[in-house]
Homo-oligomer: A and B are copies of this chain.
Amino acid sequence: MHTSTALLTDHYELTMVDAALKAGTANRNSVFELFARRLSGARRYGVVAGTGRLLEAIADFRFGDAELEFLRANSVVGQDTIDWLANYRFTGDIWGYPEGEVFFPGSPLVTVEASFAEGVILETLALSIMNYDSAVATAASRMVYAASGKPLAEMGSRRTGERSAVAAARAAYVAGFSATSNLEAGRSYGIPTMGTAAHSFTLLHDSEREAFAAQVAAFGPDTTLLVDTYDTEQGVRTAVEVAGTGLGAVRIDSGDLPVVVVEVRELLDSLGATNTRITVTNDLDEHTVAALAASPVDSFGVGTSVVVGSGSPTMGMVYKLVAREDDNGEWVSVAKKSADKASVGGRKSVRRLLNARGAARAELIYLGDGPGGEAEGAEVADSSREILEPLVVGGEIQQQYVGSDGIELARKRHRSSVAELPRVAMSLTRGDPAIPTEYR
Protein backbone atom coordinates (compact mmCIF):
# COMPACT_ATOMS: atom_id res chain seq x y z
CA MET A 1 0.00 0.00 0.00
CA HIS A 2 1.59 3.24 -1.17
CA THR A 3 0.75 6.35 0.82
CA SER A 4 1.29 8.79 -2.03
CA THR A 5 -1.99 9.42 -3.82
CA ALA A 6 -0.28 10.68 -7.00
CA LEU A 7 -0.81 7.51 -9.06
CA LEU A 8 -4.52 7.23 -8.18
CA THR A 9 -4.81 8.98 -11.50
CA ASP A 10 -5.76 8.11 -15.05
CA HIS A 11 -2.89 7.72 -17.45
CA TYR A 12 -4.31 10.39 -19.80
CA GLU A 13 -4.03 13.15 -17.23
CA LEU A 14 -0.27 12.84 -17.28
CA THR A 15 -0.27 12.50 -21.05
CA MET A 16 -2.15 15.78 -21.26
CA VAL A 17 0.30 17.50 -18.94
CA ASP A 18 3.10 16.13 -21.11
CA ALA A 19 1.58 17.50 -24.32
CA ALA A 20 0.60 20.83 -22.75
CA LEU A 21 4.09 21.35 -21.37
CA LYS A 22 5.52 20.71 -24.84
CA ALA A 23 2.95 23.06 -26.40
CA GLY A 24 3.59 25.84 -23.90
CA THR A 25 -0.04 25.87 -22.74
CA ALA A 26 0.37 24.00 -19.44
CA ASN A 27 0.63 27.18 -17.39
CA ARG A 28 -2.54 28.87 -18.63
CA ASN A 29 -4.62 29.82 -15.61
CA SER A 30 -7.65 27.57 -15.59
CA VAL A 31 -10.85 26.85 -13.69
CA PHE A 32 -12.06 23.26 -13.33
CA GLU A 33 -15.45 22.44 -11.93
CA LEU A 34 -16.68 19.20 -10.35
CA PHE A 35 -20.45 18.77 -10.65
CA ALA A 36 -23.26 16.29 -11.34
CA ARG A 37 -25.41 16.72 -14.45
CA ARG A 38 -28.32 15.03 -12.67
CA LEU A 39 -29.08 13.35 -9.34
CA SER A 40 -28.47 9.58 -9.58
CA GLY A 41 -31.52 7.48 -8.91
CA ALA A 42 -33.82 10.48 -9.48
CA ARG A 43 -33.23 11.52 -5.88
CA ARG A 44 -34.67 14.79 -4.64
CA TYR A 45 -31.33 16.08 -3.34
CA GLY A 46 -27.71 15.04 -3.18
CA VAL A 47 -25.35 15.24 -0.20
CA VAL A 48 -21.76 16.43 -0.63
CA ALA A 49 -19.31 14.11 1.09
CA GLY A 50 -15.63 13.35 0.73
CA THR A 51 -14.47 16.97 0.62
CA GLY A 52 -12.31 16.57 3.73
CA ARG A 53 -10.83 13.35 2.39
CA LEU A 54 -10.10 15.05 -0.92
CA LEU A 55 -8.18 17.83 0.81
CA GLU A 56 -6.17 15.23 2.76
CA ALA A 57 -5.49 13.32 -0.47
CA ILE A 58 -4.30 16.49 -2.21
CA ALA A 59 -1.79 17.01 0.60
CA ASP A 60 -0.44 13.52 -0.19
CA PHE A 61 -0.46 14.11 -3.95
CA ARG A 62 3.32 14.15 -4.38
CA PHE A 63 5.46 12.29 -6.87
CA GLY A 64 8.29 10.61 -4.99
CA ASP A 65 11.07 8.48 -6.40
CA ALA A 66 8.90 5.36 -6.55
CA GLU A 67 6.15 7.13 -8.51
CA LEU A 68 8.59 8.81 -10.89
CA GLU A 69 10.48 5.60 -11.52
CA PHE A 70 7.27 3.85 -12.53
CA LEU A 71 6.41 6.65 -14.96
CA ARG A 72 9.92 6.62 -16.42
CA ALA A 73 10.19 2.85 -16.74
CA ASN A 74 6.84 2.66 -18.50
CA SER A 75 7.42 5.71 -20.70
CA VAL A 76 4.16 7.29 -19.53
CA VAL A 77 5.64 10.78 -19.96
CA GLY A 78 8.91 12.34 -21.11
CA GLN A 79 11.79 13.54 -18.96
CA ASP A 80 10.70 17.19 -18.87
CA THR A 81 7.37 16.13 -17.45
CA ILE A 82 9.08 13.82 -14.95
CA ASP A 83 11.02 16.84 -13.71
CA TRP A 84 7.86 18.92 -13.52
CA LEU A 85 6.03 16.21 -11.58
CA ALA A 86 8.93 15.83 -9.15
CA ASN A 87 8.26 19.40 -8.02
CA TYR A 88 4.47 19.13 -8.12
CA ARG A 89 2.63 20.69 -5.25
CA PHE A 90 -0.83 22.17 -5.56
CA THR A 91 -0.46 25.95 -5.23
CA GLY A 92 -3.88 27.10 -6.43
CA ASP A 93 -7.24 27.86 -4.83
CA ILE A 94 -10.15 25.50 -4.30
CA TRP A 95 -13.66 26.70 -3.56
CA GLY A 96 -16.45 24.31 -2.81
CA TYR A 97 -19.71 23.33 -1.23
CA PRO A 98 -18.79 22.60 2.38
CA GLU A 99 -18.98 18.89 3.19
CA GLY A 100 -22.43 17.83 4.39
CA GLU A 101 -24.20 20.50 2.30
CA VAL A 102 -27.05 19.38 0.02
CA PHE A 103 -26.70 19.89 -3.72
CA PHE A 104 -28.62 19.80 -7.00
CA PRO A 105 -27.91 19.26 -10.72
CA GLY A 106 -25.21 21.64 -11.92
CA SER A 107 -24.08 22.69 -8.44
CA PRO A 108 -20.33 23.47 -8.68
CA LEU A 109 -19.28 21.22 -5.80
CA VAL A 110 -15.54 21.73 -6.13
CA THR A 111 -13.99 24.57 -8.14
CA VAL A 112 -10.25 24.26 -8.75
CA GLU A 113 -8.40 27.42 -9.83
CA ALA A 114 -4.84 26.75 -10.87
CA SER A 115 -2.67 26.35 -13.93
CA PHE A 116 -4.03 23.82 -16.42
CA ALA A 117 -1.38 21.27 -15.51
CA GLU A 118 -1.82 21.68 -11.74
CA GLY A 119 -5.57 21.33 -11.97
CA VAL A 120 -5.99 18.67 -14.61
CA ILE A 121 -4.05 15.97 -12.78
CA LEU A 122 -6.43 16.09 -9.81
CA GLU A 123 -9.38 15.01 -11.96
CA THR A 124 -9.54 11.29 -11.25
CA LEU A 125 -8.62 11.52 -7.59
CA ALA A 126 -11.22 14.22 -6.94
CA LEU A 127 -13.93 12.32 -8.80
CA SER A 128 -13.17 8.95 -7.17
CA ILE A 129 -13.48 10.41 -3.70
CA MET A 130 -16.43 12.72 -4.28
CA ASN A 131 -18.44 10.28 -6.40
CA TYR A 132 -18.21 7.43 -3.94
CA ASP A 133 -18.51 9.33 -0.69
CA SER A 134 -21.40 11.45 -1.94
CA ALA A 135 -23.27 8.39 -3.23
CA VAL A 136 -23.08 6.86 0.24
CA ALA A 137 -24.01 10.08 2.05
CA THR A 138 -26.93 10.71 -0.28
CA ALA A 139 -28.36 7.25 0.43
CA ALA A 140 -27.58 7.52 4.14
CA SER A 141 -29.35 10.85 4.52
CA ARG A 142 -32.62 9.34 3.27
CA MET A 143 -32.25 6.44 5.72
CA VAL A 144 -31.71 8.84 8.62
CA TYR A 145 -34.91 10.64 7.74
CA ALA A 146 -36.78 7.34 7.27
CA ALA A 147 -35.70 6.19 10.74
CA SER A 148 -37.64 9.05 12.37
CA GLY A 149 -35.02 9.83 14.97
CA LYS A 150 -34.03 6.28 15.84
CA PRO A 151 -30.27 5.66 15.61
CA LEU A 152 -28.66 3.89 12.67
CA ALA A 153 -25.32 2.10 12.61
CA GLU A 154 -23.38 1.53 9.38
CA MET A 155 -22.35 -2.14 9.08
CA GLY A 156 -21.67 -2.60 5.38
CA SER A 157 -17.88 -2.92 5.28
CA ARG A 158 -18.07 -6.46 3.93
CA ARG A 159 -20.05 -5.39 0.87
CA THR A 160 -17.65 -2.82 -0.58
CA GLY A 161 -13.91 -2.60 -1.21
CA GLU A 162 -11.91 -2.74 2.02
CA ARG A 163 -10.70 0.87 1.84
CA SER A 164 -13.98 2.18 0.45
CA ALA A 165 -15.53 0.65 3.56
CA VAL A 166 -13.68 3.19 5.71
CA ALA A 167 -14.84 6.03 3.48
CA ALA A 168 -18.41 4.72 3.58
CA ALA A 169 -18.44 4.68 7.37
CA ARG A 170 -17.26 8.28 7.34
CA ALA A 171 -19.80 9.41 4.72
CA ALA A 172 -22.71 7.74 6.53
CA TYR A 173 -21.66 9.46 9.74
CA VAL A 174 -21.56 12.83 7.98
CA ALA A 175 -25.14 12.16 6.84
CA GLY A 176 -26.35 11.43 10.38
CA PHE A 177 -25.64 7.79 11.18
CA SER A 178 -24.63 7.32 14.83
CA ALA A 179 -21.88 4.74 14.58
CA THR A 180 -20.09 2.21 12.38
CA SER A 181 -18.85 -1.34 12.74
CA ASN A 182 -15.61 -0.43 10.94
CA LEU A 183 -12.65 -0.18 13.31
CA GLU A 184 -10.38 1.65 10.86
CA ALA A 185 -13.01 4.39 10.58
CA GLY A 186 -12.85 4.66 14.35
CA ARG A 187 -9.09 4.98 14.31
CA SER A 188 -8.72 7.21 11.24
CA TYR A 189 -11.65 9.56 11.84
CA GLY A 190 -12.78 9.15 15.44
CA ILE A 191 -16.18 7.78 14.43
CA PRO A 192 -17.88 5.77 17.22
CA THR A 193 -17.64 2.02 16.56
CA MET A 194 -19.97 -0.70 17.78
CA GLY A 195 -20.63 -4.44 17.53
CA THR A 196 -21.31 -7.47 19.66
CA ALA A 197 -21.77 -11.02 18.37
CA ALA A 198 -22.29 -13.01 15.18
CA HIS A 199 -23.98 -16.27 14.34
CA SER A 200 -20.60 -17.99 14.29
CA PHE A 201 -20.21 -17.27 18.00
CA THR A 202 -23.45 -19.10 18.76
CA LEU A 203 -22.51 -21.97 16.44
CA LEU A 204 -19.08 -22.27 18.05
CA HIS A 205 -20.69 -23.31 21.30
CA ASP A 206 -22.50 -26.54 22.07
CA SER A 207 -25.80 -24.73 22.56
CA GLU A 208 -27.28 -21.26 22.18
CA ARG A 209 -27.55 -21.14 25.98
CA GLU A 210 -23.81 -21.75 26.39
CA ALA A 211 -23.02 -19.07 23.81
CA PHE A 212 -25.24 -16.51 25.54
CA ALA A 213 -23.77 -17.43 28.94
CA ALA A 214 -20.25 -16.96 27.56
CA GLN A 215 -21.13 -13.55 26.15
CA VAL A 216 -22.86 -12.38 29.33
CA ALA A 217 -19.94 -13.65 31.42
CA ALA A 218 -17.60 -11.59 29.26
CA PHE A 219 -19.56 -8.36 28.92
CA GLY A 220 -22.29 -8.41 31.59
CA PRO A 221 -26.05 -8.43 30.96
CA ASP A 222 -26.03 -5.01 29.26
CA THR A 223 -24.94 -6.61 25.98
CA THR A 224 -26.71 -7.36 22.71
CA LEU A 225 -27.57 -11.03 22.17
CA LEU A 226 -28.18 -12.29 18.65
CA VAL A 227 -31.36 -14.35 18.99
CA ASP A 228 -32.18 -15.72 15.53
CA THR A 229 -29.59 -18.45 14.93
CA TYR A 230 -32.03 -21.32 15.48
CA ASP A 231 -35.51 -20.11 16.45
CA THR A 232 -36.13 -16.50 17.34
CA GLU A 233 -38.83 -17.03 19.97
CA GLN A 234 -36.78 -19.65 21.80
CA GLY A 235 -33.72 -17.46 21.39
CA VAL A 236 -35.42 -14.55 23.15
CA ARG A 237 -36.58 -16.78 26.02
CA THR A 238 -33.10 -18.22 26.46
CA ALA A 239 -31.53 -14.77 26.28
CA VAL A 240 -33.69 -13.44 29.12
CA GLU A 241 -33.19 -16.60 31.17
CA VAL A 242 -29.42 -16.26 30.85
CA ALA A 243 -29.01 -12.49 31.13
CA GLY A 244 -32.03 -11.64 33.26
CA THR A 245 -34.47 -8.84 32.65
CA GLY A 246 -31.57 -6.39 32.63
CA LEU A 247 -30.53 -7.69 29.21
CA GLY A 248 -29.34 -4.73 27.12
CA ALA A 249 -30.68 -5.64 23.70
CA VAL A 250 -31.54 -8.39 21.28
CA ARG A 251 -30.52 -8.34 17.63
CA ILE A 252 -32.69 -9.86 14.89
CA ASP A 253 -31.09 -10.53 11.50
CA SER A 254 -33.72 -12.55 9.58
CA GLY A 255 -37.41 -13.04 9.03
CA ASP A 256 -40.29 -10.73 8.18
CA LEU A 257 -39.15 -7.92 10.44
CA PRO A 258 -42.36 -5.87 10.88
CA VAL A 259 -44.08 -9.00 12.19
CA VAL A 260 -41.14 -10.48 14.10
CA VAL A 261 -40.31 -7.23 15.86
CA VAL A 262 -43.81 -6.88 17.29
CA GLU A 263 -43.76 -10.49 18.49
CA VAL A 264 -40.35 -10.08 20.08
CA ARG A 265 -41.38 -6.85 21.83
CA GLU A 266 -44.47 -8.53 23.28
CA LEU A 267 -42.43 -11.53 24.35
CA LEU A 268 -39.74 -9.42 26.00
CA ASP A 269 -42.37 -7.43 27.84
CA SER A 270 -44.18 -10.58 28.95
CA LEU A 271 -40.88 -11.88 30.33
CA GLY A 272 -40.36 -8.66 32.28
CA ALA A 273 -37.55 -7.42 30.04
CA THR A 274 -39.36 -4.18 29.36
CA ASN A 275 -36.18 -2.12 28.99
CA THR A 276 -34.42 -4.56 26.68
CA ARG A 277 -33.95 -2.87 23.32
CA ILE A 278 -34.48 -4.39 19.87
CA THR A 279 -32.01 -3.81 17.06
CA VAL A 280 -32.59 -5.12 13.53
CA THR A 281 -30.12 -5.75 10.70
CA ASN A 282 -31.59 -7.74 7.82
CA ASP A 283 -30.66 -6.19 4.44
CA LEU A 284 -32.29 -2.88 5.34
CA ASP A 285 -32.57 0.08 3.03
CA GLU A 286 -34.43 3.41 3.27
CA HIS A 287 -37.70 1.78 2.28
CA THR A 288 -37.60 -1.06 4.81
CA VAL A 289 -36.36 1.33 7.48
CA ALA A 290 -39.33 3.59 6.74
CA ALA A 291 -41.68 0.58 6.95
CA LEU A 292 -40.27 -0.21 10.41
CA ALA A 293 -40.23 3.33 11.75
CA ALA A 294 -43.51 2.84 13.60
CA SER A 295 -42.54 -0.64 14.88
CA PRO A 296 -41.05 -1.15 18.34
CA VAL A 297 -37.52 -1.12 16.90
CA ASP A 298 -34.96 0.80 18.95
CA SER A 299 -32.10 0.95 16.45
CA PHE A 300 -31.14 -0.10 12.95
CA GLY A 301 -27.99 -1.65 11.52
CA VAL A 302 -27.68 -0.95 7.80
CA GLY A 303 -25.22 -2.87 5.67
CA THR A 304 -25.13 -3.42 1.94
CA SER A 305 -27.56 -0.76 0.82
CA VAL A 306 -25.77 2.21 2.34
CA VAL A 307 -22.27 1.30 1.12
CA VAL A 308 -23.51 0.76 -2.45
CA GLY A 309 -25.57 3.96 -2.47
CA SER A 310 -28.87 2.04 -2.38
CA GLY A 311 -29.13 1.50 -6.12
CA SER A 312 -26.92 4.43 -7.12
CA PRO A 313 -23.33 3.38 -6.34
CA THR A 314 -21.85 6.49 -7.93
CA MET A 315 -23.13 10.06 -8.25
CA GLY A 316 -21.94 10.34 -11.85
CA MET A 317 -20.08 13.57 -11.14
CA VAL A 318 -17.71 14.97 -13.78
CA TYR A 319 -14.74 17.36 -13.64
CA LYS A 320 -14.64 19.87 -16.45
CA LEU A 321 -12.54 22.78 -17.61
CA VAL A 322 -14.98 25.72 -17.58
CA ALA A 323 -12.68 28.70 -18.09
CA ARG A 324 -9.05 29.45 -18.93
CA GLU A 325 -6.91 32.39 -19.87
CA ASP A 326 -5.73 32.98 -23.40
CA ASP A 327 -2.28 34.17 -24.44
CA ASN A 328 -3.26 37.76 -23.59
CA GLY A 329 -4.35 36.84 -20.05
CA GLU A 330 -8.02 37.26 -20.94
CA TRP A 331 -10.47 34.76 -19.40
CA VAL A 332 -12.36 32.57 -21.86
CA SER A 333 -15.39 30.49 -20.83
CA VAL A 334 -15.25 27.03 -22.39
CA ALA A 335 -17.58 24.01 -22.57
CA LYS A 336 -18.03 20.83 -24.52
CA LYS A 337 -20.74 21.25 -27.15
CA SER A 338 -21.88 17.66 -27.70
CA ALA A 339 -25.65 17.41 -27.59
CA ASP A 340 -25.92 14.79 -24.85
CA LYS A 341 -23.13 16.01 -22.62
CA ALA A 342 -23.18 19.78 -22.88
CA SER A 343 -22.12 21.76 -19.85
CA VAL A 344 -22.24 25.40 -18.76
CA GLY A 345 -18.91 27.15 -19.11
CA GLY A 346 -17.61 30.02 -17.01
CA ARG A 347 -16.70 30.73 -13.41
CA LYS A 348 -19.62 30.58 -11.01
CA SER A 349 -20.82 31.56 -7.59
CA VAL A 350 -23.82 30.10 -5.80
CA ARG A 351 -26.52 31.32 -3.43
CA ARG A 352 -29.43 29.35 -2.05
CA LEU A 353 -32.67 31.28 -2.25
CA LEU A 354 -34.89 30.98 0.84
CA ASN A 355 -38.53 31.87 1.31
CA ALA A 356 -39.91 33.98 4.17
CA ARG A 357 -40.06 30.94 6.46
CA GLY A 358 -36.43 30.05 5.73
CA ALA A 359 -37.18 27.12 3.41
CA ALA A 360 -35.00 26.59 0.35
CA ARG A 361 -36.65 27.66 -2.91
CA ALA A 362 -33.94 27.55 -5.56
CA GLU A 363 -30.23 27.09 -6.18
CA LEU A 364 -29.04 30.28 -7.88
CA ILE A 365 -25.88 29.89 -9.93
CA TYR A 366 -24.34 33.20 -10.97
CA LEU A 367 -22.17 33.20 -14.06
CA GLY A 368 -19.52 35.81 -13.69
CA ASP A 369 -16.28 36.25 -11.93
CA GLY A 370 -16.69 33.21 -9.74
CA PRO A 371 -16.72 32.81 -5.98
CA GLY A 372 -15.54 35.83 -4.08
CA GLY A 373 -15.90 37.88 -7.26
CA GLU A 374 -18.27 40.53 -8.49
CA ALA A 375 -21.41 38.41 -8.70
CA GLU A 376 -22.07 38.87 -5.03
CA GLY A 377 -22.14 42.60 -5.40
CA ALA A 378 -24.64 42.27 -8.25
CA GLU A 379 -28.26 41.21 -8.15
CA VAL A 380 -28.65 39.04 -5.03
CA ALA A 381 -31.98 37.78 -3.73
CA ASP A 382 -33.07 39.39 -0.49
CA SER A 383 -33.14 36.18 1.48
CA SER A 384 -30.38 33.88 0.38
CA ARG A 385 -27.14 32.51 1.67
CA GLU A 386 -23.82 32.05 0.02
CA ILE A 387 -22.81 28.43 -0.50
CA LEU A 388 -19.21 28.29 -1.68
CA GLU A 389 -16.41 28.42 0.85
CA PRO A 390 -12.64 28.68 0.31
CA LEU A 391 -11.23 25.19 1.01
CA VAL A 392 -7.69 25.79 -0.24
CA VAL A 393 -6.14 29.25 -0.50
CA GLY A 394 -2.89 29.61 -2.40
CA GLY A 395 -2.14 25.94 -1.85
CA GLU A 396 -2.90 26.13 1.88
CA ILE A 397 -5.54 23.63 2.95
CA GLN A 398 -7.96 25.25 5.38
CA GLN A 399 -7.66 22.99 8.39
CA GLN A 400 -11.20 23.30 9.74
CA TYR A 401 -12.39 21.10 6.86
CA VAL A 402 -10.11 18.09 7.45
CA GLY A 403 -9.70 15.39 10.09
CA SER A 404 -12.20 14.70 12.86
CA ASP A 405 -13.04 18.39 13.26
CA GLY A 406 -14.01 18.58 9.61
CA ILE A 407 -16.30 15.59 10.01
CA GLU A 408 -18.14 17.10 12.97
CA LEU A 409 -18.50 20.38 11.09
CA ALA A 410 -19.89 18.48 8.08
CA ARG A 411 -22.34 16.55 10.23
CA LYS A 412 -23.65 19.79 11.70
CA ARG A 413 -23.86 21.41 8.28
CA HIS A 414 -25.81 18.46 6.96
CA ARG A 415 -28.41 18.69 9.73
CA SER A 416 -29.01 22.38 9.17
CA SER A 417 -29.10 22.11 5.37
CA VAL A 418 -31.59 19.23 5.35
CA ALA A 419 -33.78 21.11 7.83
CA GLU A 420 -33.99 23.94 5.30
CA LEU A 421 -35.32 21.74 2.48
CA PRO A 422 -39.00 21.69 1.47
CA ARG A 423 -40.97 18.62 2.56
CA VAL A 424 -41.00 17.13 -0.94
CA ALA A 425 -37.24 16.58 -0.58
CA MET A 426 -37.97 13.79 1.88
CA SER A 427 -40.01 11.74 -0.57
CA LEU A 428 -38.47 8.32 -1.17
CA THR A 429 -40.05 8.06 -4.61
CA ARG A 430 -38.16 8.93 -7.79
CA GLY A 431 -38.78 12.45 -9.00
CA ASP A 432 -37.46 15.89 -9.75
CA PRO A 433 -34.92 17.71 -7.60
CA ALA A 434 -36.56 19.32 -4.55
CA ILE A 435 -35.60 22.80 -5.73
CA PRO A 436 -34.72 24.05 -9.23
CA THR A 437 -31.28 25.13 -10.34
CA GLU A 438 -31.47 28.60 -11.91
CA TYR A 439 -28.64 30.28 -13.81
CA ARG A 440 -28.37 34.04 -13.45
* Contact B181 A16, beta carbon cutoff 8 Å: no
Nearest Cβ distance between residue A361 and chain B, in whole angstroms? 32
Contact of A131 among B128, B160, B205 (CB under 8 A): B160
- In the complex, residue of chain B having the shortest beta-carbon distance to the beta carbon of A9: B183
Nearest Cβ distance between residue A128 and chain B, in whole angstroms? 4
- In the complex, residue of chain B having the shortest beta-carbon distance to the beta carbon of A336: B199
* Contact B200 A320, beta carbon cutoff 8 Å: yes
With a cutoff of 8 Å between Cβ atoms, the chain B residues found around residue A339 in the complex are 254-255
With a cutoff of 8 Å between Cβ atoms, the chain B residues found around residue A337 in the complex are 229-231
Interface membership of A187, Cβ < 8 A: yes
A selection of 21 A-B contacts at a CB cut-off of 8 Å is A1-B1, A1-B3, A8-B166, A10-B182, A10-B195, A12-B197, A16-B201, A20-B214, A25-B205, A30-B204, A70-B186, A120-B201, A124-B181, A128-B162, A129-B162, A162-B163, A203-B324, A203-B336, A229-B336, A304-B314, A313-B313
Contact of A203 among B5, B200, B335 (CB under 8 A): B335
Bin chain A's interface residue count. 35 or more
* Contact A320 B199, beta carbon cutoff 8 Å: yes
Copies in the complex: 2
Cα–Cα, bound, A105→B187 (Å): 36
* Contact B160 A132, beta carbon cutoff 8 Å: yes
Write the A1-40 contact mask toward B (1 if CB under 8 angstroms, else 0): 1110101111111111011101101001010100000000
With a cutoff of 8 Å between Cβ atoms, the chain B residues found around residue A326 in the complex are 206
Flag the segment in A215-223, A272-280, A404-412, A417-425 that touches B: A215-223
With a cutoff of 8 Å between Cβ atoms, the chain B residues found around residue A188 in the complex are 2
- In the complex, residue of chain B having the shortest beta-carbon distance to the beta carbon of A162: B128
Flag the segment in A151-159, A263-271, A370-378, A391-399 that touches B: A151-159
